[in-house]
Amino acid sequence: MTRVLVSEKLADRGLELLRSAGHDVDVRLEMSPDQLIEAIVGAHALIVRSATDVTDDVLAAGTDLIVVGRAGIGLDNVDVEAATRRGVMVVNAPQSNILSAAEHAVALLLAQARNIPQANADLVAGKWARSKWEGVELHGKTLGVVGLGRIGALVAQRALSFGMRLCAFDPYVSPERARQMGVELLTLEELMAESDFVTIHLPKTAETAGLIGADILAKAKPGIRIVNAARGGILDEDALLEALRSGQVGGAALDVFSTEPCTDSPLFLEPNVVVTPHLGASTHEAQDKAGVTIAEQVNLALAGDFVPFAVNVAATEVSEVVRPFLPLAEQLGRCFACLNDGIPDRLDVEYQGGLAGANPSILTLAVLKGVFAAGTEEPVSYVNAPQLAEERGLVVREASTATTRDYVNLLTLRSAEHSIAGTLSGPRSEPRIVVVDDHVVEVPPAEHMLVVRNDDRPGMIGVVGTALGEAGVSISSMAVGPSRTGNTALMVLSTDRGVPDDTFTLLQASDGIVDIHRITAS
């Protein structure tokens, strides 16, 4: 009999599914880290929610572990890399709360438009203040959806029924896909300038933190109303407060905050702000779905069957030739998305050398993981990456050739506008980016990178170096590749931190710089 250790409260239906499959279900709540390490010994599966940290030490102690299940979407508390290295499958329940989250965002939208919480509080306090809480209709108004993933798409569908005009900002959705949904794609600045209401549905990443700040709010349509039921910190709360007090923002409805739990904020004192304590997934149905879904996934994993919501691939299932390239493939995918400022209509993946004969399709999935890493509100897995590509309108094509001129193995990603290629180099198989936009370079992937195409003339390296130095940004490594025509050159730089917006804008406008992109490769 297999033993399933459950460290947090799980829906009864989920527990019953595990027991009916013949597993010994061991429920131990509120364990300390040391108690978890002791309890994991002999367990074949571990099911957690958000409070249990599944560290490498826990995985090391669980020598019989086959699968770790997270009853929810986020995986911040699970060391997926360590699990993959140890051959332990990690599964989650990515669709369990999307409907609840979308409905809560719509509820906040209506509550903000009609001042429902404020009017309720007044009436309970004995005040009949009808004129004070006059609202606005949604019909005919423009809703800007920031992030058109699964939750954002559900909100958009529901907003259509109110007769709202829809626009969206999402670099990871193709124009054709947006047209099918009845949504107009805009830049973030354009969306903020045209929208009466804005709803946020992005993941919290280095790129999205503080995305909607003072500069963006200053460019918004006066009186705009903002809903954030995604993640705290995407909307700058200090900037929001100032914009509310000045009247630039007409109201806000917030379910999430930069620091949680949040029980004291100056935003709570603003009469045109509606707040809830992170209730997006807090429905009976969502919790029940999470428990049932994770039990189903764990049962499949323990039975050795296909697991739809696996978020990793056990390292033992990948060939020795392909396995070392998995991290590089994901990094190249992330770089490719940054070069294209999102996703293009087409992605060509080419394998050259020994990779071509080693069944490298798993690397295409790793590439897609990297491409979508910063653009969806749910974790991207080897299993759901192709589905995300289809949903977002990305056509993926693979090609292989056993010959390569300069490298033993080469992995190349290409769109109509950009290309990037990488390989593993040296006795330690260290990852290297070796081609960017058909310019030969050699630089290791880094967390922060800058790609600059410039006129091929003296002084251009100095222009970039001086601007970065004045911003306090250090260059960690650098490669320069001239074009075959000799008219332009390409600089690829690794930096110790991200290039600030004002420095990036300055470089964009500098004489001799043709094109520039910031890349976050990890």
pLDDT digits (tens, 9 = 90+) for 128-172: 999 999 999 999 999 999 999 889 999 999 999 999 999 999 988
**Same-domain check for residues 305 and 335:** no
Asked if residues 348 and 371 have their Cβ atoms less than 8 Å apart, the reply is: no
Q: Residue 281: inside a domain, yes or no?
A: no
CATH code at 75? 3.40.50.720
From CA 466, how far away is CA 459, in angstroms rounded? Answer: 10
Q: What secondary structure, in 3-state letters, does 32-56 show?
A: CHHHHHHHHCCCCEEEECCCCCECH
**Same-domain check for residues 26 and 127:** no
**Same-domain check for residues 30 and 174:** no
Beta bridge partners of 478: 493
Q: Residue 256: inside a domain, yes or no?
A: yes
Q: Residue 51: inside a domain, yes or no?
A: yes
Tokens 């670099």 belong to 171
**Same-domain check for residues 312 and 435:** no
Catalytic residue among 177, 231, 432, 448: 231
pLDDT(314) > 60: no
What does the pLDDT read at residue 428? 86
Using the 3D structure, point to which of 249, 275, 301 is the last residue of a domain. 275
Q: Residue 81: inside a domain, yes or no?
A: yes
From CA 118, how far away is CA 102, in angstroms rounded? Answer: 22
**Same-domain check for residues 208 and 236:** yes
Concerning whether 44 is annotated as a catalytic residue, the answer is: no
**Same-domain check for residues 376 and 271:** no
Concerning whether 23 is annotated as a catalytic residue, the answer is: no
Which residues are within 8 A (CB) of 485 and not within 5 positions of it... i.e. 6 or more apart?
none
Concerning whether 278 is annotated as a catalytic residue, the answer is: yes
Mean pLDDT computed over 59-75: 92
pLDDT digits (tens, 9 = 90+) for 433-478: 999 998 999 999 999 999 999 998 899 999 999 999 999 999 999 9
Query: Which of 171, 174, 180 lies closest to 392, judged by CA?
Result: 174
**Same-domain check for residues 241 and 125:** yes
Asked if residues 234 and 188 have their Cβ atoms less than 8 Å apart, the reply is: no
Mean pLDDT computed over 57-82: 92
**Same-domain check for residues 156 and 28:** no
Q: Which domain holds residue 333?
A: 323-519
Q: Residue 280: inside a domain, yes or no?
A: no
What does the pLDDT read at residue 522? 59
Catalytic residue among 278, 323, 346, 518: 278
What does the pLDDT read at residue 388? 84
Using the 3D structure, point to which of 247, 275, 303 is the last residue of a domain. 275
Q: Residue 201: inside a domain, yes or no?
A: yes
**Same-domain check for residues 247 and 391:** no
**Same-domain check for residues 351 and 338:** yes
Q: Residue 182: inside a domain, yes or no?
A: yes
**Same-domain check for residues 118 and 257:** yes
Output the average pLDDT for the chain.
Answer: 92
Instruction: State the pTM of this model.
Output: 0.76
* Percent above pLDDT 90 for the chain: 72
Count of domains in the chain? 3
Q: Residue 119: inside a domain, yes or no?
A: yes
Catalytic residue among 260, 390, 417, 470: 260
**Same-domain check for residues 230 and 271:** yes
User: Which strand (E) or helix (H) includes residue 347?
Assistant: strand 346-353
